[in-house]
Amino acid sequence: MKTLKHWQLESRHAAGIDLRVDEIHLFSLRVLETGLFRVLLRRRGELALDRTWSIAPHKDVPLEGRDRLSNEGFSLPDFSLEQHENSLTLTTSQMRVTVHQPLRLEWEGKDAQEEWRLMASDRPTGAYLLPSEGGGVEHFQRRYAQDNYYGLGEKAGDLNRTGRRFEMRNLDAMGYNAATTDPLYKHIPFTITRNEALSFGLFYDNLSTCRIDLGNELDNYHLPYRRFSAEAGDLDYYLFLGPTMVDVTKKFVRLTGKTFFGPKWSLGYSGSTMYYTDAPDAQQQLMQFIRLCAEHRIPCDSFQLSSGYTSINDKRYVFNWNDSKFPQPEAMTAAFHHAGIKLAANIKPCLLQDHPLYAQVAEQKLFVLDSEIEQPERSSFWDDEGSHLDFTNPATVQWWQLQVTQQLLEKGIDSTWNDNNEFEVWDGNARCFGFGKTIAIKHIRPVMPLLMMRASFEAQQRFAPNKRPYLISRSGCAGMQRYVQTWSGDNRTDWQTLRYNTRMGLGMSLSGLYNVGHDVGGFAGQKPDAELFVRWVQNGVMHPRFTIHSWNDDHTVNEPWMYPAATAAVRSAIELRYRLLPYFYTLLWQAHADDEPMLRPTFLDNEHDANTFLENDDFMIGRDLLVASVVEQGQCLRDVYLPDNTRGWVDFYSGEWFAGGQCITLNAPLERLPLLVRAGSALPCSARLAHCDVELDTQRSLQLFPMPGEGKACGSLFEDDGESYGWQQGMALWLSWDIEYTADRITLRFTRRGEYRPAWRGLNVVLPAGETREVWIEGVKTSCYLLW
Residue 730 is part of a domain; what is its CATH number? 2.60.40.1180
Instruction: Please report, for the chain, how many H helices and E strands are present, in that order.
Output: 11, 57
Q: Same structural domain for residues 780 and 715?
A: yes
Cross-strand pairs, 305: 273, 345
Cross-strand pairs, 10: none
* Predicted local distance difference test score (pLDDT) of residue 134: 74
Q: Same structural domain for residues 330 and 475?
A: yes
In a domain, residue 377? The reply is yes
Query: Helix 495-510 and helix 530-540: axis angle, to 10°?
Result: 10
Q: Same structural domain for residues 305 and 214?
A: no
Q: Which of 106, 155, 129, 136 is nearest to 219 (CA)?
A: 129
Element (H, E) at 582: helix 581-594
Could you report the per-residue pLDDT of 372-404, keeping only the tens digit for each? Answer: 999 999 999 998 999 999 999 999 999 999 999
Could you report the per-residue pLDDT of 307-357, keeping only the tens digit for each? Answer: 999 999 989 999 999 999 999 999 999 999 999 999 999 999 999 999 999
* Confidence grade of residue 196 (pLDDT, cut at 50, 70, 90): confident
In a domain, residue 23? The reply is yes
* Predicted local distance difference test score (pLDDT) of residue 133: 76
Residue 308 is part of a domain; what is its CATH number? 3.20.20.80
What is residue 236's three-state secondary structure?
Answer: strand
Could you report the per-residue pLDDT of 284-309, keeping only the tens digit for each? Answer: 999 999 999 999 999 999 999 999 99
Q: Same structural domain for residues 177 and 307?
A: no
* CA trace torsion 450, 455, 460, 462 (10° rounding): 140
* Sheet with 780-781, edge to edge strand ranges: 711-719, 733-741, 745-753, 774-777, 780-781
* Predicted local distance difference test score (pLDDT) of residue 340: 98
Q: What is the count of structural domains for the chain?
A: 3
For 175-207, letters b (16+ CB in 10 Å) and e give bbbbeebbbbbbbbbbbbbbeebbbbbbbbbbb
Q: Same structural domain for residues 222 and 310?
A: no
Could you report the per-residue pLDDT of 619-635, keeping only the tens digit for each? Answer: 999 999 999 999 999 99
Q: Same structural domain for residues 174 and 118?
A: yes
Q: Same structural domain for residues 23 and 142?
A: yes
Element (H, E) at 114: none
In a domain, residue 30? The reply is yes
- The beta strand positions in 412-529, using DSSP E, are 415-418, 431-432, 439-440, 471-473, 476-477, 486-487, 516-520, 524-525
Q: In degrees rounded to 5, what are phi and psi of residue 565?
A: -70, -20
What CA–CA distance (Å, rounded) separates 386 from 318? 12
Q: Same structural domain for residues 435 and 325?
A: yes
The residue among 223, 256, 289 that closes a domain is: 256
Residue 121 is part of a domain; what is its CATH number? 2.60.40.1760
In a domain, residue 563? The reply is no
What is residue 275's three-state secondary structure?
Answer: helix
Residue 441 DSSP one-character state: G
Average pLDDT, the chain: 97
Q: Same structural domain for residues 193 and 328?
A: no
Cross-strand pairs, 14: none
Q: Which of 183, 295, 218, 201 is nearest to 571 (CA)?
A: 295
Element (H, E) at 356: none
Domain that holds residue 417: 301-484
Task: Spell out the alpha helix ranges (H) of 348-393.
Answer: 358-363
The residue among 256, 288, 309 that closes a domain is: 256
The residue among 466, 484, 502 that closes a domain is: 484
- pLDDT of 788 above 90: no
Q: Same structural domain for residues 426 and 328?
A: yes
* Confidence grade of residue 5 (pLDDT, cut at 50, 70, 90): very high
Q: Same structural domain for residues 314 and 236?
A: no
Could you report the per-residue pLDDT of 597-610, keeping only the tens digit for each? Answer: 999 999 999 999 99
Write the burial class of residue 585 (CB in 10 Å: 0-12 exposed, 13-18 middle, 19+ buried). buried
DSSP 588-642: HHHHHHH---SEE-TTTT-TT-GGGGS--SEEEETTTEEEE---STT--EEEEEE
Classify 285 in phi/psi space as left (phi over 0), alpha (psi -120 to 50) or beta: alpha
Q: Which of 669, 603, 599 is nearest to 638 (CA)?
A: 669
Could you report the per-residue pLDDT of 98-142, keeping only the tens digit for each? Answer: 999 999 999 999 998 999 999 999 999 999 999 877 788 999 999
- pLDDT of 161 above 90: yes
In a domain, residue 241? The reply is yes
What CA–CA distance (Å, rounded) separates 213 from 161? 9
What CA–CA distance (Å, rounded) separates 196 from 194? 7
| Cis amide linkage into residue 263, ω under 30° from 0 | no
Tell me the CB-side half-sphere exposure of residue 382, using CA atoms within 13 A: 27
Handedness of CA 179, 196, 190, 42 (dihedral sign): negative
In a domain, residue 660? The reply is no
* Sheet with 618-621, edge to edge strand ranges: 599-600, 618-621, 625-628, 675-678, 649-651, 657-658
Q: Same structural domain for residues 322 and 246?
A: no
In a domain, residue 269? The reply is no
* Confidence grade of residue 36 (pLDDT, cut at 50, 70, 90): very high
In a domain, residue 649? The reply is no
What CA–CA distance (Å, rounded) separates 592 from 599? 14
